Amino acid sequence: MTGMGSRRLVTGILPLVGGAIGVLGGAWAFVEGLRAVIGPAGRIWLLSFTTLFSGSADWASVGDGWVAALAWFAASLPLFCVGWGAIIAGMNALIQPPAADAVDADS
């Protein structure tokens, strides 16, 4: 029986935990990408309304967040997708009967 428990751990529980970590990592990377986009966009809005006539606006740094945002978004997609794939695989392994039990049930 210990062999079956360790098999369920390896094929079911560990992919579930790893998948949950991957999904959370993907969501975190997506939020970081949004922060990288909203930061410069917020500066554009702030610069356009508060320093319109002051002449001290730093327009050169407005587009700096887009490269970081693309990098965060590119990192978030595989993490999120692979994480969900691992969760689905782990759930599938947990709900299916072990192979030895399936053979005994057929005979």
pLDDT in tens, 6-54: 777 888 899 999 999 999 999 999 888 888 777 666 555 555 555 555 5
pTM for this prediction:
0.64
DSSP SS3 for 51:
coil
Q: How far apart are CA 26 and CA 74, in angstroms?
A: 10
Angle (CA) 37-39-43 rounded to 5° is: 120
Over residues 62-91, the mean pLDDT reads 85
- Whether the CB-CB separation of 20 and 83 falls below 8 Å is answered with yes
Helix segments in the chain, DSSP class H: 2-8, 14-50, 65-95, 99-106
Over residues 75-93, the mean pLDDT reads 92
Q: Residue 23 is encoded by which pair of tokens? A: 């999904």
Model pLDDT, residue 94: 87
